[in-house]
Amino acid sequence: MLSLLVLATVAAPPLTERLKKWKAEIEQRGELVVVVRIGTDRETNQIRVPPATPRRFVVARYLADERFAEQFRRTHAMTINYQAEDGRAHLVLLNMDRAAEFKDAEEALIAHEFGHAWLDALGFRSPDYSGQARPCLAIHTGDIVQHILIRRELETRGFPYRDNWIRNLDLTLDALHEENPPAPGGECDSLARVALWIDVRLGLNPESWSRHGEFDAAFRRHFPELAATVDELVQVLNAVDVTVQERYRRALAYVGRRLVASFPSP
């Protein structure tokens, strides 16, 4: 298990003007936004966190939870939304162990995480994965619905996120073609595939990504057990205006119930 090491060698990333503006909008609501790079010292297997990080004790508490740490290792970034005594706070954690995968696209990555913070600040809350017995189910339930709104907000604010997303999708699809069958995974792997598949179905089309149909066909071939869940959720979410909070909450609840039904607790 990783242990926590506080080092000064990992500095917070500089923000672009567009990111500074969005961060200021969130903080004008009285909510703190912190961006912090998290890395692992390969020799000691210790997690690196800058010592001057605001709310560092919260970051440490989350990363000390192996279930959370495992989810963090799987992704490029995660945002912790939590209620502090002095107000709501949003901690954006960048996984620098995978920085090569978002090279030249850090602004878009941080903007995506600001989208999660922004939605939370507006009252579009996602399931709290802290202390959950199945944190990956809570994480992907929130992502499936929130990503619809985040994509729209990124486009409105002029953040160019699609090129890096499509580049990573190309890599995923190429790797999938090389695996026959793909390497087996657990529940979290299946949930991640469901969320990714839905993202592609809702966020792209053959005009915006030439391999859109190829991706769908490959996922149906390799993961046929997930297709019914994905098809149903895509149909439901296409018919719901999740910009309306009450409909957003209902959609979130529906997605959560459908995923629980598809992945009953072991």
Residues 204 and 159 in one domain: yes
pLDDT digits (tens, 9 = 90+) for 202-225: 999 999 999 999 999 999 999 999
Q: What is the domain range of residue 31? A: 1-123
Number of H helices, E strands in the chain: 10, 5
Cβ atoms 141, 127 nearer than 8 A: yes
pLDDT digits (tens, 9 = 90+) for 9-42: 444 558 999 999 999 999 999 999 999 989 887 7
User: Which of 72, 106, 123 finishes a domain?
Assistant: 123
In whole angstroms, give the CA distance from residue 156 to residue 210: 23
Residues 133 and 234 in one domain: yes
Residues 131 and 119 in one domain: no
In whole angstroms, give the CA distance from residue 201 to residue 215: 10
Region for 232 from its dihedrals, namely left if φ exceeds 0, alpha if ψ lies in -120 to 50, beta otherwise = alpha
Q: What is the pTM of this model?
A: 0.90
Residues 101 and 3 in one domain: yes
Computed from CA positions of residues 93, 96, 99, 101, in that sequence, does the dihedral angle turn out positive or negative? negative
